[in-house]
Amino acid sequence: MAEPTSYCTFWLDGQRFGIEVLEVQEVLRTQSMTPVPLAPTAINGLINLRGQIITAIDLRERLELPSREDGDASVNIVVRTDEGPVSILVDSIGGVLEVDRADFELPPETVYGAGRDLIAGVYKVDGPLLHVLDVGRVIGELVTATRKGDA
């Protein structure tokens, strides 16, 4: 590999996604959530992570995918942002996948809707495509508005 990079992979609605490992702080099992009144629908709630209050974003909602079935647990991927840690809720966690940056491609035309803006690109790897999530766009103004109380 010329210039390798590693991604923390996860599954959402049967599709494989990835976030650069350097952006991931930790992965947590389902956490209890405190709802945020009047917050955008993508804000699932707030979690208490060792005394730190963290906003949890439902990635299914953000990508305009069908909701999880009642009773289906989610996994929290806590990512580092300029505003502090944020949790992204996904269906299940995968492994760490190393790819060559030279193999990065823009999202295919089959990616539409919100995904078109939130997916930076893809890697063709063994098995399903690896959709690379643009964490900055996913979080966008959602977290800033919630922390300021503008939601």
| Terminal alpha carbon distance of the chain | 44
DSSP secondary structure string, 101-131?
GGG-BPPPTT--THHHHHEEEEE--SSS-EE
Domain ranges of the chain: 4-139
The dihedrals phi and psi of 101, each to the nearest 5 degrees, come to -55, -30
Under 8 Å between Cβ of 40 and 55 = no
Give residue for tokens 């919100």.
114
Average pLDDT, the chain: 88
Higher pLDDT, 125 or 141: 125
Give pLDDT tens digits for 60-83. Answer: 999 999 988 877 789 999 999 988
Model pLDDT, residue 144: 58
The two beta strands, 52-58 and 86-90, are: parallel
Q: Which residues pair with 90 in a beta bridge?
A: 75
Give pLDDT tens digits for 4-30. Answer: 899 999 999 999 999 999 999 999 998
Q: Which CATH architecture has domain 4-139?
A: Beta Barrel (2.40)
Model pLDDT, residue 151: 46
